[in-house]
């Protein structure tokens, strides 16, 4: 059935729709034909619900994220794109370090300018003085066929203690999970004192509830 037709039918029966899929174009097509709000639950290009949780977690621990620096180490993927979008809205900087061939594409990320982010070849430099160091799996859902190739390309993009040492002394570590210790992050970082990954995971639920309330009821005092 065409996505447009499914959207017309489903959206007559529910108050909200959340879709986790691959191509962003599928969600866009659904949303264009939906009578109710459509939440992006993850696409190849974006992961806004996770970034809401991450920013909420940062705020809980450190206060406003405006003016802060987030280091993104790893794949120029859906998470990275959405960090850049958020940085434009909320006024923080993103230091991005990806292996060659896995860079962020600004046009895919859908951001207006490159002023809120800076690209570093060396992940250590990206982490220097960062307030938050964050990473993600080397192989996202849907890209499993590239797994072996990616393991080689990403070998130097494992977040380790040396990267945390050059970040701010009170820097936080986040990971949207599931994590692979010994691949994108060392165990002593994700299980160490600067890691807030369990708060981050719990906050997926709280911000999801807040988003649903906002979409159903509007802004509450
Ligand atoms: N970039 C990852 C995020 C998983 C929550 C993926 O798309 O698989």
- Find residue 117's DSSP bridge partners: 94
Phi, psi of 108 (to 5 degrees): -70, -40
Using pLDDT thresholds of 50, 70 and 90, give the confidence band for residue 220: confident
Q: How far is the CA of 140 from the centre of ligand 1 (A)?
A: 5
Q: Average pLDDT for residues 148-171, to the nearest whole number? A: 98
Q: What is the pTM of this model?
A: 0.97
**Ligand 1 contact via 78 beta carbon (within 6 Å):** yes
Determine the pLDDT at residue 165. 98
Determine the pLDDT at residue 112. 86
Q: What is the pLDDT of residues 8-58, one digit of tens each?
A: 999 999 999 999 999 999 999 999 999 999 999 999 999 999 999 999 999
Average pLDDT, the chain: 97
Q: Is the pLDDT of residue 217 over 80?
A: yes
**Ligand 1 contact via 82 beta carbon (within 6 Å):** no
Using pLDDT thresholds of 50, 70 and 90, give the confidence band for residue 113: confident
Q: Average pLDDT for residues 89-100, to the nearest whole number? A: 97
Q: Is the pLDDT of residue 221 over 80?
A: no
From 29-33, 75-79, 217-221, the region with the lowest mean pLDDT? 217-221
For residue 181, CA distances in Å to 154, 160, 163, 173 come to 14, 10, 15, 14
d(CA 39, CA 78): 15
Which atom belonging to ligand 1 lies closest to the Cα atom of 140?
Answer: 8
Q: Name the closest-CA residue to atom 3, ligand 1.
A: 140
């Amino acid at each position: 059935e065409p996505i447009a037709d499914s959207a017309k039918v489903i959206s007559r029966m529910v108050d909200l729709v959340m879709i986790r899929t691959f191509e962003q174009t599928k969600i866009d097509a659904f949303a264009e034909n939906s009578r109710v709000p459509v939440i992006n639950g993850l696409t190849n290009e974006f992961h806004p619900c996770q970034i809401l949780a991450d920013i909420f977690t940062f705020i809980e621990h450190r206060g406003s994220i405006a003016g802060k620096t987030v280091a993104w180490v790893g794949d120029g993927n859906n998470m990275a794109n959405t960090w850049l979008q958020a940085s434009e809205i909320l006024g923080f900087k993103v230091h991005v370090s990806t292996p060659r061939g896995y860079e962020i594409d600004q046009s895919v990320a859908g951001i207006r300018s490159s002023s809120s982010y800076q690209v570093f070849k060396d992940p250590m430099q990206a982490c220097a003085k960062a307030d938050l160091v964050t990473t993600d799996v080397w192989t996202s859902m849907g890209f499993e066929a590239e797994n072996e190739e990616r393991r080689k390309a990403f070998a130097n993009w494992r977040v380790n203690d040396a990267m945390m040492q050059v970040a701010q002394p009170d820097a936080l570590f986040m990971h949207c999970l599931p994590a692979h210790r010994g691949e994108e992050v060392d165990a002593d970082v994700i299980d160490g004192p600067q890691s807030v990954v369990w708060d981050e995971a719990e906050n997926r639920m709280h911000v999801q509830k807040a988003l649903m309330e906002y979409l159903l009821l509007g802004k509450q005092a």
